[in-house]
Structures are given as structure tokens and as C-alpha cells.
Amino acid sequence: MKRFLRFAAIALFAAVGCAQAQDLSDIKASGVLRHLGIPYANFVSGNGDGLDVEITQLFAKHLGVRYEYVKTDWKDVIGDLTGKLIEAKPEPHEVGSRPIKGDLIGNGFTMLEARKKWVDYSDPTFPTSVWLVARADSKTKPIKPSGDKQKDIATTKTLLSRGSTFVMENSCLDPKLYDIGSKGYQLKFYTLSSNLNELIPAVLKGDADMTLLDVPDIMVAMQKWPGQFKIIGPISDDQLMGTAFRKTSPELRAAFNSFLEGIKKDGTYGKLVKKYYPMSPKFYPDYFKNVKGMGGK
Amino acid sequence: MVAAALFALYATFLLWKIYATHSQLREDVLTEIRLEAEKRSEAVSYFLSERQNDLRDLADSQDAANFFANRDLGMSLEYGLALSVQAVEERFNRVKGQKLLSGQPIYRDLAMVDANGSLLAGGEDAPKKLKSFLTPNSRAAVLLFRPSERDIVITAPIWFRERYRGQIVAWSDLSAFQAQMVGAKPDGNQALVDAKSAQPVAVEAGSPFLLPSLQNIVSAMKPGSSAFLGGSSGVAGGVGVIKVAVRGSPMALAILVTESQLEQRSTPMGLLMVAGAVPLLVLAGALVLARQKQRHQALTEEKGRLEGRNTELEQEIARRMAVERELRQRTEELTHAYARAEAASHAKSQFLANMAHEIRTPMNGVLGMTELILDGELSEEQREYARIVMSSGQGLLTVLNDILDYSKIEAGMMKVESVEFNAREAIEQVVALFHKLAEGKGLAYRLSFTEGFPERIFSDPTRVRQILSNLLSNAIKFTASGGVSVRAETRQRDDRRFIAISVRDTGIGMDPATLAGLFQAFNQADGSITRKFGGTGLGLVIARNLCQLLGGEISVESTPDEGTTFHFEIPEHPPEAAAPESMPEEA
């Protein structure tokens, strides 16, 4: 009887879209952990697997609740988590409430300052950067590394003037993040979908000359379209990705951090990274040098 | 046995044949070893060829191509090209993990090197100088045996977009390679050697392949040939050496053939000796079997005989049991018949006793009256008639008394007394009774007592008189001339005293046949005696029975026509006599 009443209360709250705090105890009581995911590189394949999918599935098992995948997109993902209706322009701001659809965002979600206003991040789950990528036949040539990342970033940014470049708002490819928005560059906002996986094919098709792209996506694309595109240089500093939580779910976040530390120590995390991003230790040696289960590379 | 002997002969013949071909086999063994070596060499060649294929595949792989494509695009290691390097190294790792020989990785290391000899990917254990492995003028993978470094290097050129880009190089430990190729535990008699110089690739110290003398022989040999070693080879126990080329490499397989190897591979002497023992064992086995069979047969026969005897015994037992049953039955019948006869006899005796008593009573009356008549006034003729009546009556009475006594005895009703009386007096009285009779027949008549004859004994005086009377009556009756004498004495037997009385006559005597049936009832000597002498034939039976009742016995000796002597003895004291009753003296 008690259990029924509890379920009825939850259903009621969900029905009226009440933005009540749903923290760890509520999740445990409800028996389900809802994972907000957007198909993206090897983090969320869209077919039920991916690095973030498997980490979140293990987390649900760790909590002793059922795992549920909730598909969303870059535009709605924060709203689906927080229950806040957010207007993006001129600056992202809350205009109302909406139903909460998920309990965490695990999506190769770059830890951007702008996002930290709305969500709290877990400890880092993966390293990343944003680079400029061009078609192989493009006249724009890759930069010669100077040994100074900031110099390399500045050099790469100047090459934006060589052609059109895909960017994507409200994502890690948002030009505002890298101060290239109002520089007169030919930026094309990709709106056909929020799927970053589609940017390279679009460039290869000739819809733009270049695109910003995060490194994890680039790792995947290099295997899919070898020799068909080239990396010009970095647009961003090294960034970190993490799992995002409501600001009202501190216990859930703390539980996730504890869980993440555990799987990093016991080698589970390393095995998952090796499965989905085997090249990553080569690319981010500092980040992965002490990660167990990666074969020591 | 015959079969075993034939087999033994045949086996011996075979052994001789084997021994005879032993030498030929040695030659054949060398050939066999060489063929085996060639097979192994082929396996080695194939193995090396596969290694070259591995390297060619790596050189032609997409990952290698992607790397050079991305490099051509100008990508730097810091920004993107490292991903291509990673892909190549991942491929190297897969190859290392997959290519195994007896569970051990074949490749110690793999590296991708550019056209200048600079390391591009892999090669963690690679030497610093890699230029020596470049083969820009070749498209084929090459094998390099490096005994000094104890490894084999396989190197394949990378051609991308029709330009030579570099090399894929692989290193493999030579000793591990050799151990796998020539055996996990090499017996020291095989080695991988340089085909030209015969230098062994990797052998242990003390190996015969290090001997310059052997190396000279091997280096001079053509691949695929064998040679016998003489004493100058310096190889102890070495008989020959075989050299087989490893196709596709500058190496050869050298195999040393020793005496023990030849013996092992051909028919070893030990085996011959053991095989020689086999026919003997078979013979011995056949002998044992034959003996067993014989014993078994004998046992079977004995068993049969015993079973037959058993059957006979069983039959005999059955027969005897049947006889027993019949005997029991007949005994039962006889017992019944005897009981019936006894009963009948008893009844008869009872009847006789009754009848005798019934008859005696009026008879006594008749005799009494007759006596009274004789006391009266009678004429001589009347007196004569009365005397005859008296005599007849007395005779009849005697017969009746006999019958009565016998009947009593038969019926078990005869009782004897045990009283103290004067035996001497009783005997004298009985003897005196017959004195007149004996005198009347002109017979001598005498009575004698031995010294120590007791005056008084414990017995039945009436019956003692009766016995003596009977014997005296018979003695006088059956004696026509001569005399009758009575002798009374005492006898001691064990701790008992007896009185023994003998009545001797010189009468007609009896033959042994007559003596045998003397004491049987109704049995006078023969019918003529009865007619001549009268009598019922019961007297002696009664006398014997009375003797026995008194605890004594009666016996007789007789000679026909010479006379007869009756003896009877009775104990002075009966055996169970407690306090014998004393009888007063009687007249």
C-alpha cells in the first residue's frame, strides 16, 4: 500500500511537471534512473551502446535501480534535466518550467562555463578539445605546431577566414565559446540536426569548407573517412567532459563521483575507454597515464 | 602343444629374418630420418613464408595507408596524425597477440619506419639504427637471420601511391624459433645452421655442431644429402649427418644420427630379445595349459566315478531302508503274533490250570474213596481191582499236577518261597521215597554228601524236593539195570555259595539231538519212549523252570546206552534275600 501511494505521488508530480527536487533517495524509491542522451560519436551511439551509455548503465546497477534511456537533443537537453524552460537569446535565460524527463546527462557533455549556470558536473569522464577540420582537397593547410597551444589556437583561428565553417549553437561547437562569433568569419550554423556526427559528411559533401569538431568525434571520423579530411589545428584549449546533474541532486552527483572513482580504480573505466576510444591515450597521454585497464599505453 | 611348438618354430624363423634385415634397416632408417627432416624443413619454410606474408599484409594495411595519407595532408602528430599512429600500433598489437607458436608470440616487436629510417610507430624494443632494414628497391618481404643478435628480422616495404614510404619491420627471437622448429627439448642432435658456413644459429655450449670438424663436413654437403661419419669427425657415437635446406632462407637443418638413435628406430636388440622370449613363453604357456587340461580331465573322471558311486550308495541306502521298513513291519507283525500267541498260550495255560484243578478235586475224592475201600473187607479180586483204580488214579493225579504246575509256570503264576530249611534232611527224605522203587527194579541206589554240605539253606524246600523227585523218577524209570546214585555237594562261585546235586543213572542215555530239545515242553525223547515209559514230557521243563526261579540252573550229560547225569544247583541264599523267613522243621 505504501509503495502504491509512493508511485501515485511520483506519477502526480510527473503529470503536473512539478520541478520538485529528485535526488538520490527519490531515484532509489522510484526504482529507475533516467539517462538523457543524444546520439554523439562513441559516447551515445543511438543503438543502445556507447561510452556514456555503459557508464550510466553501470551506475544504475550500482544504485540498484533500473536503467532507462531518454532521447533528447542539444536544444532541449538541459531543460529536460532541470525542468526549466530556457530561452537561448540574447543570452540563455529561464522563462518558465517544463517536465523533467531525465535524471542525468551523460553524453560526452563538455564542461562549458555557460552550462555550469544550469547544471552541476560530475568529475571528468573524458578529455576533449575542439579543432578545425577541412576537406582533404581544401587549400587550407594544417598548421605546424609551435609547441605553444595558445599560439597554435591563434594561428588556427586565422585560417577560419579561408572558407566557410560549420558551427553549432548550444553545443561545444558554439562559436561564442571560442570568441570567433563576431570576427567576420564565414560561420555556418548547422541546424539540420543536432547530431555532430553529421558535420563531417556535410563538409565532405561540400556544404561547407570546414567545420569545428570535437576530438572524440574526429577520432571516430578518421576511422570512418580516412584520408578524406584533414585537421587544420586547435580552436580550443584542452577541455573536459562530464556527466551533468540538476543542481538539486547533490546526493545523486556525489554518488556518481564515488562510483566513477571506483570504476577508474578497478579498471572498468579504462576497459570501456579502450573499447570505444582506443586511440585516446595516444591523444591525451596526461589524462590517461594513470588510468587502469588501458594496457599502459 | 603341437600348435605351440609350431608357433615357436615360426616365431624363431621370423626373428632370424628380422635380425637378418637389421643392417638393411639401418640404411633405411637414415633415409627415413632424412625424409622426416625434409618434412620438418618444409614446415619451417612454410612458417617463414607466412611471416613474410604477415609483414606484407601490415605494409599493405589500411592503417599504414591512412597514416601516410594523413601525413601527406600535412597533419601533425600533435593534431591528428597521432591518431593514425595509434591505429597502426593497435594493428601491431593485434598481430602480436594473434600470431603465436606453441602459445608463445612469434613477434617480439613490430615497427613502422619511414624512408629515412625514422621510427614512426611501434618499435619499443627496436634498435636505434633502422636504416639497415630499408629495402626501397624491392616490393617483397625479406628475411634476415642474425645469429649474432640471436634473432630473425622480417622486413617489408611500404608503397603508398606508388611511392616508397618506409618499412614494416618485425623481430623474432631466434632461439625460441629454433626450439619450436627443431623440438621443444632439443636432444642436441638437431640444429639450425647457416647453409653455407654450417655455423649453428643457436645451440648450447658443448653441442657437436660447434665442432669445426663437423661444420666442415656439413658445409661441404649438398642440401638434401646425408653422410656417414668416420672416426675423424670427433663426434662420439655419431654414425651419420643429414643436411636439409630450409627453403626461402639461407638456413639449413642439420641432423646428427647416433648409434642409439639407429637402434631406437630400427629393431632394438632389447626388443629382439624380448620378442625372442615370446615363443618360449607361448610354449611354456601351452605346456601349462595342457597339464591343466589333463588334470581337469582326471578330476572330471574322478568326479564321474564318485557320482556313480554316490548313486550306487544312494540306491543301496534306499534298498536297505526298504528292507528295514519291511523288517520293522514284519517285526511288528511278529510282535503282534507273539503277543497273540502268548495271550493264547496264557489263556490256554489258564484254562489248563482251571481244568486241572477242576479235575484234581474229584480225582482226590476218587482216590480217597478207593483208599477207604481198600481198608475194608474185600476179596482178592476186588482188592486187585481197587489197587488198579488206585494206581490209575494216582497216575492221573500226577499228570494233572504236572499240567497244573506247567500251566502256572507258563502263566507266570508260579511262586517260590525263600525260607530256611534243612537241605540235607530234605534230600534224604526224597531219596528214601524212591528206595523201594529202585530196589524193586534191582538197581543199586546210593546217596552221598560231600564234606561241608550245609545243614541249612534259604530256598523253597517243596520245590527243591520236587526237582529232585523228578530227576530221581526219570533216572529210575529209564534205567533197566545198573544203578542210580545221588551226590550232593557245595560250590563256591564268585562270592556266592551253591548246593549242587547230581543224579546219575546207567540207563538208556540220550543222543545229542535228543539232549537239545530235552527241556522243551511236551517233548519226550521220542514217541516210543512215551509208549514205553509213559510221562507227559513236562517234568524236566518244570524242573528247569523251578531251578531258574530259585536262582539256579540245571544241566545234563548223557551217552546213549550208557547213562545220563543230571546236575542242578541252587544258591544257598537267594540274591535279593532280605530277612529270609525261617521255616520250622518238618517231618
Q: Would you call B73 and A283 a contact, using CB atoms and an 8 Å cutoff?
A: no
Cell of A268: 572498468
Residues of chain B with C-beta less than 8 angstroms from the C-beta of A232: 79
A147: closest CA of chain B, how far (Å): 9
Nearest to B520 by CA among B541, B544, B545, B542: B541
Question: What is the structure's pLDDT at B578?
Answer: 44
- Give the full edge-to-edge strand order of the sheet including A239-246: A66-71, A32-37, A104-110, A239-246, A119-128
SS3 at position B140: coil
Residues of chain A with C-beta less than 8 angstroms from the C-beta of B65: 226-227
Cell of B210: 660447434
Over residues A44-71, mean pLDDT: 95
CA B169, CA B152: separation in Å to the nearest integer? 11
DSSP-assigned letter for residue B460: -
Place of cell 482188592: B383
B66–A contact, CB cutoff 8 A = yes
Q: Is residue A296 part of a domain?
A: no
**Residues A73 and A216 grouped into a single domain:** no
A154: closest CA of chain B, how far (Å): 14
ipTM: 0.78
Residues of chain A with C-beta less than 8 angstroms from the C-beta of B73: 136, 142, 227, 230
**Residues A54 and A168 grouped into a single domain:** no
Low-confidence ranges of chain B (pLDDT < 70): 21-23, 175-177, 179-188, 231-233, 261-272, 276, 349, 353, 356, 521-536, 576-587
CA A182, CA A180: separation in Å to the nearest integer? 6
Q: Is residue A295 part of a domain?
A: no
Between chain A and chain B, the number of residue pairs with CB atoms below 8 A apart is: 68
**Residues A119 and A136 grouped into a single domain:** no
**The residue count for chain B:** 587
A39: closest CA of chain B, how far (Å): 22
End position of a domain, from candidates B155, B182, B209 = B182
Q: Is residue B235 part of a domain?
A: no
Nearest to B471 by CA among B547, B399, B528: B547
**Residues A141 and A102 grouped into a single domain:** no
Q: Which of B67, B83, B124, B161 to mutate to test the interface with A (most CBs of A within 10 A)?
A: B83
CA B300, CA B303: separation in Å to the nearest integer? 5
B28–A contact, CB cutoff 8 A = no
CA A279, CA B94: separation in Å to the nearest integer? 14
Nearest to B196 by CA among B164, B223, B171, B175: B223
**Residues A101 and A177 grouped into a single domain:** no
Residue A153 clears pLDDT 70, i.e. is over it: yes
Question: What is the structure's pLDDT at B532?
Answer: 59
- Give the β-pairing of A66-71 and A32-37: parallel
Q: Is residue B169 part of a domain?
A: yes
CA A125, CA A264: separation in Å to the nearest integer? 10
**Residues A220 and A274 grouped into a single domain:** no
SS3 at position A222: helix
Question: What is the structure's pLDDT at A18?
Answer: 41
Cell of B405: 504246575
Cell of B352: 489248563
Residue A21 clears pLDDT 50, i.e. is over it: no
* Across A41-50, A246-255, B162-171, B535-544, least confident range: B535-544
Q: Would you call A145 and B89 a contact, using CB atoms and an 8 Å cutoff?
A: no
Q: What is the CATH number of the domain that holds B162?
A: 3.30.450.20
Residue A138 has φ and ψ, to the nearest 5°, of -65, 150
Residue B84's closest chain A neighbor by CA? A222
Q: Would you call A227 and B69 a contact, using CB atoms and an 8 Å cutoff?
A: yes
Q: Is residue B297 part of a domain?
A: no
Q: Would you call A142 and B79 a contact, using CB atoms and an 8 Å cutoff?
A: yes
Burial group, residue B343, by CB count within 10 angstroms (0-12, 13-18, 19+): exposed
* One-letter identity of residue B542: I
Q: Is residue A182 part of a domain?
A: yes
CA B265, CA B281: separation in Å to the nearest integer? 26
B62: closest CA of chain A, how far (Å): 9
Nearest to B78 by CA among A222, A138, A285, A155: A285
End position of a domain, from candidates B132, B151, B182 = B182
Question: What is the structure's pLDDT at B426?
Answer: 94
Residue A146's closest chain B neighbor by CA? B78
How many distinct structural domains can be found in chain A? 2
Q: Which of A162, A279, A288 to mutate to test the interface with B (most CBs of B within 10 A)?
A: A279
Interface of A with B (CB under 8 A): 131, 136, 141-145, 152, 218-219, 222-223, 226-227, 230-234, 278-279, 281-283, 295, 297
Dihedral (C-alpha) B82, B85, B90, B94: value to the nearest 10 degrees? 180
The minimal CB distance from A218 to the residues B69, B80, B93 is found for B80
Q: Are B151 and B144 in contact (CB under 8 A)?
A: no
Q: Is residue B210 part of a domain?
A: no
Question: What is the structure's pLDDT at B29?
Answer: 76
Question: What is the structure's pLDDT at B101?
Answer: 83
Q: What is the mean pLDDT of chain A?
A: 88
Q: Would you call A234 and B79 a contact, using CB atoms and an 8 Å cutoff?
A: yes
Q: What is the CATH number of the domain that holds B569?
A: 3.30.565.10
Question: What is the structure's pLDDT at B235?
Answer: 74
**Residues A182 and A113 grouped into a single domain:** no
A156: closest CA of chain B, how far (Å): 11
Q: Count the helix, strand and coil residues of chain B and give each as a percent rounded to the nearest 5.
A: 55, 20, 25
Q: Are A37 and A52 in contact (CB under 8 A)?
A: yes
**The residue count for chain A:** 297
Residues of chain A with C-beta less than 8 angstroms from the C-beta of B62: 226
End position of a domain, from candidates B182, B200, B224 = B182
Question: What is the structure's pLDDT at B536?
Answer: 59
Q: What is the CATH number of the domain that holds A146?
A: 3.40.190.10
B232–A contact, CB cutoff 8 A = no
- Residue B70 — left, alpha, or beta (φ > 0 → left; ψ -120 to 50 → alpha)? alpha
Task: Give me the domain span that covers residue A167.
Answer: 130-237
A45 Cβ neighbours under 8 A, 6+ residues apart: A39, A53
Q: Would you call A226 and B89 a contact, using CB atoms and an 8 Å cutoff?
A: no
Q: Are B224 and B248 in contact (CB under 8 A)?
A: no
Place of cell 544247583: B569
CA B549, CA B572: separation in Å to the nearest integer? 14
A188: closest CA of chain B, how far (Å): 23
Is the torsion defined by CA of B550, B551, B557, B558 positive or negative?
Answer: positive
How many distinct structural domains can be found in chain B? 2
Task: Give me the domain span that covers residue B501.
Answer: 416-582
Q: Would you call A230 and B75 a contact, using CB atoms and an 8 Å cutoff?
A: yes
Question: What is the structure's pLDDT at B582?
Answer: 46
Q: Is residue A293 part of a domain?
A: no
pLDDT higher at A87 or B164: B164
Q: Are A108 and A43 in contact (CB under 8 A)?
A: yes
Residues of chain A with C-beta less than 8 angstroms from the C-beta of B79: 131, 142-143, 145, 152, 231-234
